[in-house]
């Protein structure tokens, strides 16, 4: 049974996606052309303009994708389909979704799903194996920032035992150990059809969407596939927004970086700049919104956002604590400077009084008032210092 497999990977760039336009324009591929036109037309029809206008799609070429067995050495190539690479890019936010498309695959699809789970997607380039993540960053400046999601699409429904492995994103042909999935969770997912329209059945787990198309002739296959892919693209774009910022926050926490308020504001603004893709009214049609909500729930996007929020709050507390400690240090320095200045003034006043008593110097009115004024200033500084330290102490 043939399968179309779409592997969607959250990613971003640090500078710009615009350099990919020329690369895409120079690559001639009829499927790629139809894919980009279909996805663009569907997105413009299904999404409101303020969202669909943000995205551009580029074709990055076709490459051999060695499928490795799961033996302990893990270097046995058991198949080698071709994978076409596309990216849906948002220049304004610098976010993207890298989509690898394997068309009409006749092998065991669970082996590809398993390789996605193991994050061992590799390309064969000039006879050498190279990790997809490394190739994307070196060749195109694209940075993978989170876990991939897979859409597996077939024209006839697979046996339930196979669908269990689709939902688990695991191979059913393991060389390491003979197992059979009996989990009630995956059995329920394999029976829970989330489809809204009658042209397909849709089953969804945390990492995989399995779609069975009812287009027997296959004439409109790409059109029907696109109606699902454009929704998954947007959900993976949301995940990319969270992963990108959360990775930076988590790194700051793990390495105990001395991140300052300005740097923290930059991270917060980076995520805030993506809020347009989170709005609930971005779909023109309620059917698309319904299936998007159901898939988002299975993808646990809210859980990912919650993790980011917890890390963000923890980082805020660290920054606040450091700011308080810095403020206390500054307060102590100012206090000691005030003490030194008072001692200096006090010494000069005593010196002038001493020479006045000896009759070698006149005592001016400034000398008379300097002492009480210096003492009053010192008293004010002590009061301010004490009150400020009490306030800062409560914030620690």
Residue ranges of the alpha helices (H) in 255-300? 261-272, 286-299
Residue 12's pLDDT band, with cuts at 50, 70 and 90, is very high
Give the whole-angstrom CA distance, residue 102 versus residue 238: 24
What's the pLDDT at 268? 86
Q: How far apart are CA 201 and CA 157, in angstroms?
A: 9
Confidence of residue 195 (pLDDT cuts 50, 70, 90): very high
Dist CA 387 CA 385 (whole Å):
6
Q: Is the pLDDT of residue 364 over 80?
A: no
Domain boundaries, the chain: 3-248, 316-395
Q: Report percent pLDDT > 90 for the chain.
A: 56
| Largest Cα span, the chain | 118
Cβ atoms within 10 Å of 176's Cβ, excluding its own: 11
Average pLDDT over all residues of the chain: 85
**Residue 248: what pLDDT?**
87
3-state secondary structure of 121: coil
Average pLDDT over residues 223-243: 95
pLDDT grade for 75, boundaries at 50, 70 and 90? confident
**What is the structure's pLDDT at 309?**
86
Residue 254 corresponds to which tokens in the numbers above?
A: 């793990």
pLDDT of residue 340: 72
Map residue 166 onto helix, strand or coil.
helix
At a CB cut-off of 8 Å and minimum separation 6, what does 197 contact?
227, 287
Lowest average pLDDT, out of 31-45, 70-84, 223-237, 324-338, goes to 324-338
pLDDT category at 1 given cuts 50, 70, 90 is confident
340-360 per-position pLDDT tens digit: 766 766 666 666 666 656 666
What is the H or E stretch that residue 117 is in? Answer: helix 109-117
CB-based contact 173:108 (threshold 8 Å): yes
> The whole model's pTM is what?
0.82
d(CA 320, CA 326): 10
Q: What CA–CA distance (Å, rounded) separates 187 from 55? A: 37
The model's pLDDT over 201-225, given as tens digits with 9 standing for 90+, comes to 999 999 999 999 997 666 688 999 9
Q: What band does 64 get if pLDDT is binned at 50, 70 and 90?
A: very high
pLDDT score of 137: 96
> By CB neighbour count within 10 A (0-12 exposed, 13-18 middle, 19+ buried), where does 327 fall?
middle
**Is the per-residue pLDDT at 394 higher than 70?**
no
107-119: per-residue pLDDT in tens?
Answer: 999 999 999 999 9
Q: According to the model, what pLDDT value does residue 55 have?
A: 92
């Amino acid at each position: 049974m043939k399968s179309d497999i779409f592997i969607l990977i959250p990613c971003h760039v640090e500078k710009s996606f615009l350099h990919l336009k020329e690369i895409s324009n120079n690559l001639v591929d009829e499927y790629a052309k139809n894919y980009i036109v279909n996805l663009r037309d569907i997105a413009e029809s299904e999404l409101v303009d303020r969202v669909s206008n943000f995205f551009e799609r580029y074709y990055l070429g076709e490459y051999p994708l060695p499928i490795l067995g799961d033996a302990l050495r893990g270097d046995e190539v058991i198949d080698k389909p071709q994978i076409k690479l596309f990216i849906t890019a948002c220049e304004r936010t610098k976010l993207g979704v890298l989509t690898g498309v394997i068309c009409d695959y006749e092998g065991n699809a669970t082996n590809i799903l398993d390789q996605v789970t193991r994050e061992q997607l590799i390309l064969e380039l000039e006879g050498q194996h190279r990790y997809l993540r490394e190739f994307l960053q070196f060749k195109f400046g694209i940075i993978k920032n989170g876990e991939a999601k897979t859409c597996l699409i077939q024209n006839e429904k697979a046996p339930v035992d196979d669908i269990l492995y689709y939902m688990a994103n695991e191979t059913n042909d393991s060389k390491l150990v003979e197992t059979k999935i009996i989990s009630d969770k995956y059995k329920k997912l394999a029976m829970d059809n989330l489809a809204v329209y009658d042209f397909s059945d849709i089953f969804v787990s945390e990492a995989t969407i399995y779609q069975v198309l009812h287009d027997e002739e296959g004439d409109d296959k790409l059109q029907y596939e696109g109606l699902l892919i454009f929704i998954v693209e947007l959900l993976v774009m949301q995940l990319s927004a969270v992963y990108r910022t959360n990775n930076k926050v988590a790194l700051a926490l793990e390495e105990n970086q001395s991140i300052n308020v300005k740097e923290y504001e930059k991270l917060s603004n980076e995520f805030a700049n993506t809020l347009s893709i989170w709005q609930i009214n971005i779909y023109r049609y309620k059917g698309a919104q319904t299936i998007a909500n159901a898939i988002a729930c299975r993808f646990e996007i809210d859980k990912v956002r919650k993790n980011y929020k917890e890390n963000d709050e923890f980082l805020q507390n660290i920054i606040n604590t450091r700011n308080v400690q810095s403020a206390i240090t500054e307060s102590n320095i100012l206090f000691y400077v005030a003490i030194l200045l008072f001692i200096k003034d006090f010494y000069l006043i005593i010196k002038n009084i001493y020479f006045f008593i000896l009759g070698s110097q006149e005592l001016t009115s400034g000398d008379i008032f300097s002492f009480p004024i210096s003492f009053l200033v010192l008293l004010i500084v002590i009061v301010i210092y004490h009150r400020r330290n009490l306030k800062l102490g409560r914030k620690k």
